[in-house]
Structure 1
């Protein structure tokens, strides 16, 4: 662990040297030039000495538990390394302060070397048995500078490789995988979590605050808060803190004000799930902040001071009460992930609404994800300049705006996930001009599609060989247009939410060979489902919900040998009664015989408060 700290310092010294050299070059005619020149010699000397220390510690780390003297020496080096790290951070901050004056203070903390694996694991600690999602973990690891690009891989790919390695070593339990077979969320083994937290505390990497007894932050770099009683924290100095994670919803954030005011080096502030409605002013003085997590909070407004967070890379305000974002957002040139959407109490096309964007977001050229934009001529014009987008979601689209949207999407040559929602359920979107990029993996469309042109529109998607997930909401498919979807042979997941208006649904032979999950939701007129032999041969999960006219199981469902789960929610009561019916030993329930090969079968009738697993 001590070796890892020294490795980090070597990386930081290199960056500090580069930044200092730039400042030196800009100040050759100033009195400070001579002093800086001497400082560079000292930095180069320290860098060489640290390299020697790293090589020594590589062997000493193995002996510290058996040799008391070595253990004490390693601890002293670790403590010294932490103090040096603070000095380097202060140095880079000072360079920027001198460079830009009081109006604009920046932290330039360069790419760091990889951390010891147990340190990376601790970053997932959280509440006991807490489920942590892959995307959230990866973004936090990246913004904490635990990850470096290598072997022509992106930061996200390297981070996911580490996550998979932890899973393969049984340090993490996979809770759920997505339709691609990738880890979606996971949790830590209790024993591993206990060991990781102890190690983190010993090495001053992080502390867990549970609200009992006296508590001193001291030299800890990260703080995990798991108590509503945070009054003692208001007395703590936190000059070394790099990350604060809050895991309790009813925490009074005002008690964190003194800590935030003293945390000049803070790079991660994760308040996900808390009940805050407004951020403390102190947050906007955190010039080194790279991750701001406001997901599932009650946040209603973000002030113009947001523009002061010049190093912000992730702003996550997913499912909040935000209706708009401030003009200062356009100043965040390093922003890579921007999630902001409002959760509607009343569901129309979808339960998530877009957020009004300020002008100038076309300058945020590093953005990889933008979810969710409230459509307007101005916002779609600005979005068209964001050519690095991998994820894009837009709401409130009208037929008049569809041309502008199609034009914007054409420029997104790296797009992997696209979500488009109409302004209301009666809005018909003319998608014949939509040219979807071949890179697309996920597509969500909410709103009616032009009925006469539906077959042509769906057939035009045949080039989407990478498309694995398709969600259609309110699309008005029927017996004539549904077969056009068969061209999407690479789908792993297909969800039709109030998107099918026909009475009969037929899956022809050899259709959807890779499909693992099929959700049919809200087809009010559907009364017959036919599955030809050889269709849906890989299907593992099948869901029918809100199908009041569905009185029979799908024809030939017994041929779906890969099917492991069948969910029947709010279908015809007649079918539910058949499946729940208890039979004598010498009698045969034909409906149950059809699904005898399925491991898990659940039926539910919401109005009658019935939910039962029959297999």
Structure 2
């Protein structure tokens, strides 16, 4: 809806002001003045007529896209919904005149705001490479352009249509609900109405759900990080954007627009017809999905481009690109890899870059010039090191290099990423651990730190990272276990903790091994878990259940992998009121139940 993309532009302005407050202090008044003018625009486009016209447009788009596979009953429902929306609009005057006037005006407003957002993005790119007088001149020029944008917004408001009287929006929605309820006869139209009633940020969130590739499962955590990076979550002092993004995902799940995986609650999918509804509006929202079997040319206006099965289909794209998702089943061809480098050279505005299973051996230096980049994912690659230019990405929030090359290491350059919030690493070698540089605690915004080795003094340093919410440590051993336990106890905001013990190489290489070679867990009785912990994974030869487990009242998921328990764990687990998920892959129960490998316990 019109008011919604106005709101998104306001969020972008406020985000820039928060992040670059010192640089933009001289133009703060111009930003606040423009924000106030946009409030006026948003109030006007909240008129019920805009909602009914938007609803009709969406229903028509869905009918056009889905007509070949709709039943006669489904087509009849959609036609009936369109007629009812016309009837509501007719109360305000001539339907065709109102539709033409409002669509033209909204289109003009949208184009102007897109241009304004592009100008803001270009300014950020330009000012990052400047200092002294050059920077002052650019800021002054930016202030003048903000005043020009404000004037253009006023001119568009002066030309706003006059839709006339109309019932209030709640009455319109109640009228439509009375005619389309969730029964067999009108279920499809009801789904369409539910989709139309979604707030704009939730609607865009659902589009990203459809666009986000995932040969290895679409996870809620990855989606949360993408939504934050894409600017769909308003930044507010004292609040974590990730919490709001998670809340939005839960809202979509509660409305049946996302479905959790039956076996892994962290994964999800978009059910039909909501997937089809999202596809029907993708072009209008500047999305474009490309697949290996698609002959479509990527539209020059596309700002969010997912390319699935991209072995040979990466083509040059426009400089408007904001999000690029590339996934491949068997890696990219040489031609596609070369083209990707060209795309990154041109895509200076890109905020989300997600490359999955591309098997890239290196990232081009051009990545370091993407100063607006907030999300960089290169899962399932052959990358052993990141380019030195990575330290230039001062706005980067997420760096996900899980399943990298065998010899992958993090350089000191990562310590320059002051805005980094999520660091996820893993290499398919030894115990999967990745060594992080000393000084990692300097990253004061870091919430997620996963796949790391905590030896060499890192365990002690972790105790200073009290802002962490997720920590996954691999190759844990006796020489630093006590130091790690002491540090984790200080992380009072931690929600997710995973500890994987080092493997005993002799046992691991033995064909008689029944525990995947994991060593015995260092004594856990001295450990005191953070009070808010919701997920705990203990991977290794755990012989006894720690007594403190019974007091973890917030725990919802407990993973016990390759343990050697000598007692029934339910004697302790029965005291966990919120425990819902208890996988025990590869666990060996030796006494009360005989020598047998357990996959899970039934939760009492």
Alignment of 1:197-596 (within 5 A): 197-203=279-285, 205-210=286-291, 212-213=294-295, 215-228=297-310, 233-234=315-316, 236=317, 238-249=318-329, 250-251=331-332, 252-321=336-405, 323-344=408-429, 353-424=432-503, 425-427=518-520, 429-449=522-542, 454=544, 458-479=546-567, 485-486=572-573, 488-490=575-577, 491-505=579-593, 525-526=595-596, 543=599
Q: Is the CA contact 1:303–1:326 (under 8 Å) kept in the aligned structure 2?
A: no
Q: Which residue of 2 aligns with 1:9?
A: 9
Q: Is the CA contact 1:127–1:247 (under 8 Å) kept in the aligned structure 2?
A: no
Taking the aligned partners of 1:462 and 1:286, their CA distance within structure 2 comes to 48
Q: Tell which has more relative contact order, 1 or 2 (C-alpha 8 A, sep 6+).
A: 2
Shift of 1:269: 0.3
- Residues 87-108 of structure 1 show CA distances to partners (whole Å, capped at 9, x for unaligned) of 12223444444348999xxx99
Change (3 A) 1:494 1:102: farther
The DSSP-based 3-state class of the residue aligned with 2:211 is coil
Change (3 A) 1:100 1:369: farther
The DSSP-based 3-state class of the residue aligned with 2:320 is coil
Shift of 1:2: 3.0
Taking the aligned partners of 1:268 and 1:128, their CA distance within structure 2 comes to 13
The DSSP-based 3-state class of the residue aligned with 1:58 is coil
Q: Which residue of 1 aligns with 2:44?
A: 56
Greater share of helix: 2
The DSSP-based 3-state class of the residue aligned with 1:471 is strand
| RMSD over equivalenced CA pairs, Å | 3.7
Taking the aligned partners of 1:400 and 1:129, their CA distance within structure 2 comes to 38
Match of 1:68 among 100, 106, 118: 100
Shift of 1:487: 6.2
The DSSP-based 3-state class of the residue aligned with 1:207 is coil
Q: Which moved more, 1:265-274 or 1:413-422?
A: 413-422
Alignment of 1:95-106 (within 5 A): 95-99=127-131
The DSSP-based 3-state class of the residue aligned with 1:395 is strand
Shift of 1:358: 1.1
Shift of 1:488: 4.3
Shift of 1:268: 0.3
Shift of 1:194: 3.3
Match of 1:142 among 228, 233, 237: 228
Taking the aligned partners of 1:139 and 1:471, their CA distance within structure 2 comes to 24
Taking the aligned partners of 2:599 and 2:468, their CA distance within structure 1 comes to 32
Taking the aligned partners of 1:82 and 1:214, their CA distance within structure 2 comes to 24
Shift of 1:175: 3.2
Alignment of 1:18-167 (within 5 A): 22-23=22-23, 46-59=34-47, 61-62=50-51, 63=53, 66=96, 67-99=99-131, 115-126=200-211, 132-148=218-234, 154-167=240-253
Q: Is the CA contact 1:23–1:95 (under 8 Å) kept in the aligned structure 2?
A: no
Taking the aligned partners of 1:496 and 1:20, their CA distance within structure 2 comes to 47
Change (3 A) 1:214 1:229: farther
Shift of 1:82: 0.6
Shift of 1:418: 1.7
The DSSP-based 3-state class of the residue aligned with 1:241 is coil
Q: Is the CA contact 1:3–1:61 (under 8 Å) kept in the aligned structure 2?
A: no
Taking the aligned partners of 2:311 and 2:134, their CA distance within structure 1 comes to 36
Taking the aligned partners of 1:406 and 1:45, their CA distance within structure 2 comes to 51
Q: Is the CA contact 2:213–2:325 (under 8 Å) kept in the aligned structure 1?
A: no
The DSSP-based 3-state class of the residue aligned with 1:421 is strand
Q: Which moved more, 1:248-257 or 1:72-81?
A: 248-257
Taking the aligned partners of 2:424 and 2:213, their CA distance within structure 1 comes to 27
Shift of 1:86: 0.8
Work out the number of aligned pairs and report it: 478
Change (3 A) 1:293 1:102: farther
Unaligned runs of 5+ in 1: 26-35, 109-113, 347-351, 506-522, 528-541, 546-559, 564-615
Taking the aligned partners of 1:10 and 1:422, their CA distance within structure 2 comes to 48
Shift of 1:152: 7.8
Unaligned runs of 5+ in 2: 58-95, 143-198, 504-517
Shift of 1:84: 1.1
Q: Which moved more, 1:55-64 or 1:439-448?
A: 55-64
The DSSP-based 3-state class of the residue aligned with 1:260 is helix
Q: Is the CA contact 1:441–1:468 (under 8 Å) kept in the aligned structure 2?
A: yes
Q: Is the CA contact 1:477–1:501 (under 8 Å) kept in the aligned structure 2?
A: yes
Structure of greater Rg: 1
Taking the aligned partners of 1:396 and 1:101, their CA distance within structure 2 comes to 51
Change (3 A) 1:164 1:413: closer
Shift of 1:41: 6.9
Change (3 A) 1:431 1:255: same
Change (3 A) 1:426 1:206: closer
